[in-house]
Amino acid sequence: MFKKIIALLLVGMLALSGIAALAQESAAPAQESVTPVQESAAPADVPVLATFNGVDILKSEVDVILPQITNYITEATDYRQATQFVVQQHMLQQKIKDMGFDQYTPEEEASFQAEAEAQWNEGLDSYVSYYLPEDTEEARAQLRQQAVEFYAAQNYSLETLTSNFRQRAAIDRLTAHLVGDYQPTEEEIQAAFEQFGAAYQQNYENNIMAYEYNTYFNQQPSWYTPEGYRGIIHILLQPDPELLETYNRLQSTYEEQQSDEGSEMTQPEAGAEQSAEPTATATQVPAEPVTQQMVNEARQAAIDSRKADIDAIYGRIANGESFEALIQEYGQDPGMQDATHLAQGYNVNRESVIWDPVFTAAAFSDKMQQVGDVSDPVLGTSGIHILKYLRDVPSGLVMTDAIRTEITDYLRAVRENTAFTEAMATWETEYPIVYNEEAIQAATDAAKAAEPADDQPELEGLQAVPEGDSPEATEAPNGENPAG
């Protein structure tokens, strides 16, 4: 829900990951690291964009940082903001040094070394496992050396990881110094919940499609649940495969016929010449039309192929046996093996778009009037469903432990950012800082000139789905969709 408030001004907070990015490209696991500020003299052909406390800030240094902070600055080509960010990193490191926050005990140094070695070895091992052609000692040794060389070429090593842990510890000390033991109050938490919760409600209150696509397919959290959802559990039975195939074929053909009958026949234009005689291909024997009765009979035949089990299930329900226990005995939906789904059910709304329409209709059929009711057996594209109305899903904005934690972390981040912003304003008066505006403007102009031209036409008339892109998937993740 929350985006970082500002660029955070913190090397550690930004989590500038070198090995993380490289690991994704090489299929080795991500290793978290921080890019420390390097002090070096400016080569003659590298522009100096600023000077902090007598240290030159080179364009090459800003170029490394710029792609990693594009989400936090006005434009991806804004070298003024990026240069200021780098200056602030130098200032942070200088302040940490001045305040002695970079001095560690032997025990702390040993801890940094141990953590770095663990991450480093994990990264090397995963690199080896991914590329290993055959499991021999020789192959493993060669790949491990290859992994070391790969990371070394990108300026990452066990030593840089160890340095990163030291840097993070220093940042944590400085943060504690500025922020103290701040804990959000209940009033602050509730105010943030209402503020951001209103956005969720506005997006989803009257848009079931957007809600389901974003929460099911895009796996986005939502603090708001629209009204009208029921928790549904079900027993899925597989009918005779041939009978199910026959039903699906007849149903599809019948729907196509209905669609064809509703479309207008193409008429010849006035004045067009008409053929005196029909062509040989114009006379064809039409296929036998599929009727609703044929579809109904095929559906019933597929259901009847499991009649013995269906009768046994309803008989045992009538005798008071647990529906949940019958799911375990008869059910063939993997989603119902999940403890959470079994306890809470699938969330189904009358306007749901992610479930088989047959499943949705059955969830709101005449047999499903109150919690505890069981539907008649229905045949969907994935098999025979017997549904139970498990519960009414609470609607509206509901505070959960996970949301409370998210808000608490957010409010702490706000406090930290405020504290660092105020501290930065003070620290800037303590050190000599000079910006080379001419060089900065030249770098910005060159970056803008290198951008590709945006000559793509805009698409009109398409409504964006809030908080995410419209997915192309047709069923929920983890095998949860009864539509199969």
Domain ranges of the chain: 11-180+433-451, 230-257+290-396
Chain segment 287-328, per-residue pLDDT in tens: 689 999 999 999 999 999 999 999 999 999 999 999 999 999
CB 228 within 8 A of CB 207: no
pLDDT, mean of residues 360-384: 96
pLDDT confidence tier of residue 453, bands split at 50, 70 and 90: low
- pLDDT at position 241 is 94
What DSSP character marks residue 243?
H
What is the C-alpha end-to-end distance of the chain, expressed in Å? 31
Type of residue found at 147: A
Q: To 10 degrees, the CA torsion angle through 140, 144, 147, 148?
A: -170
Whether the per-residue pLDDT at 476 is higher than 70: the answer is: no
Whether the per-residue pLDDT at 44 is higher than 50: the answer is: yes
Which of 60, 110, 112, 99 has its CA nearest to residue 439?
Answer: 60
Cβ neighbours, 10 Å, residue 348: 25
Residues 6+ apart with CB under 8 A from 147: 28, 123, 124, 127, 128
Q: For residue 371, how many C-alpha atoms fall within 13 Å in the half-sphere facing its CB?
A: 9
Chain segment 223-261, per-residue pLDDT in tens: 999 999 999 999 999 999 999 999 999 999 999 988 877
CATH architecture of 230-257+290-396: Roll (3.10)
Which of 478, 264, 171, 443 has its CA nearest to residue 354?
Answer: 478
- Mean confidence (pLDDT) of the chain: 82
Q: What is the pTM of this model?
A: 0.60
